[in-house]
Structure 1
Amino acid sequence: MPHDHAIQCIHDPLLVVLSYLVSVLGSFTALQLAIGIPAAQGAARWRAIFAAGAAMGGGAIWAMHFIAMLACQMQIPVTYDLGITVASALVAIASCMAGLAIASAGVFGWGKLAVAGLFMGLGVTGMHYAGMAAMRMPADIHYDSTLVLASAVIAVVASIVALWLAFNLRGWLQMLGSALVMGVAVCGMHYTGMLAASFTPNDAGAAALAGGISGANLGMGIFAVTTLLLATVLALSMMRQRQRAAVQI
């Protein structure tokens, strides 16, 4: 069907803001958790990498993505393939863990940071388009290759900045400011990727929705669980930092 019949995606401003706030919370939590990575050894280092990677990949990036997907309201019904959705979360978390592991191994340097950022950024890009592929709807998705490339570049640059911040910040005010900036970068990548997509109806009808779960249930479930987990992890992290400071005094 020709592109002049493209289905419009109208974003709900409230959900757009909500997606940004979730990204900021995830970024701030990841920065808090990343503090202990350089000094940790053995299993403790990998636990810190997993926690920070889960906060960044699962919260700041993946949860933000699906809440932002919910913000995209179209004139057709949409459901989501659960298997692909879960796989996209694992891609996001694994790529963030890999980026943190590479950047924190040995002496910190710009070359290693660039490699880690590239690995992480491409993983984040893959997560986004896998998440798009999880959509079940009576429509076909077409992509503007220039904007797809732009979204990948934004993801890589944002990843390099995020990794640099993770290992060079200490004060919570600095981290909060950095989390606000990172939220803008993550949202910039997502909404550029959404701008790259156009949707044209097909004849699949209700069969296209089979086996999927509703966007509203998925999005609000992700928001509730992710916010609770990030808030709990963040509170525990800040408590540990206060305990360490008290012992040093």
Structure 2
Amino acid sequence: MSIIAKRGLKRDGRAPALGQCYSSYGVSASPVFSPRFIAFLERGGVMFEVHARGGGEYGAPWWRAGQKANKPNTWRDFIAGCEAVIRDGWTSPATLTIMGTSAGGIAVGNALVERPDLFAGAIDNVGWTNTSRAGVEQNSAPNFPEFGDPSNDTEFRGLVAMDAYQKVKDGVRYPAVLAITGMTDPRVAPWHPAKFAARLQKASTGGPVLLRVTFDAGHGLGSTRQQSDAQWADIFAFVLSTARAPA
């Protein structure tokens, strides 16, 4: 795990936190600087990344341990990382929001439905949450080697097992949710976040479920600076709101 916070932050479990996980395709989550994050950190926020199985941080074995039928390792590592951050006093279930982007939608979606008690909020950012429908979208075939081919019975069962949309249950107190999509997204069809939000709106007895749609943007690639700034402003506002941080 990588944790970023303002120097001297008191670890009393009260800080609003944003935890992220991607961990797919053997991609390593590398350090990056963004001035957009500074305002949140200066407000006492905590940001962290869980380097779960499925990523490339520990080589090919680490990647394969979060691939296809092994994909549950990814979101359970994510859950374990969030538990560790809470245990170490960085944040608490009342102030923690998790986010997954693109393939990270598998991690955030399944963490949300398996441990709704652990989070104040969850952000599904252009996330892949309805994996059992993998064969019916524009970008389907390129994902088969990583997650599974729905025409293969065994691999289709793996896709069903990682389908967060199918796991949402009526009457559960789920955290607040912000689902984000762009109508021109060529990588993760907009109906993934839209269906996930609609299902949670019907099922959840907990926090509000919001759907944010940008009609002239897609998967984040090619978004204007203004669009990116506006989206991150909404993300951090959501995190602070769910944590009930002072204005």
Q: Smaller-chain TM-score range? A: under 0.3
Looking at both structures, which has the greater relative contact order when contacts are Cα pairs under 8 Å and sequence separation is at least 6? 1
After TM superposition, the score normalised by the length of structure 1 is 0.26
Normalized per residue, the structure richer in helix is 1
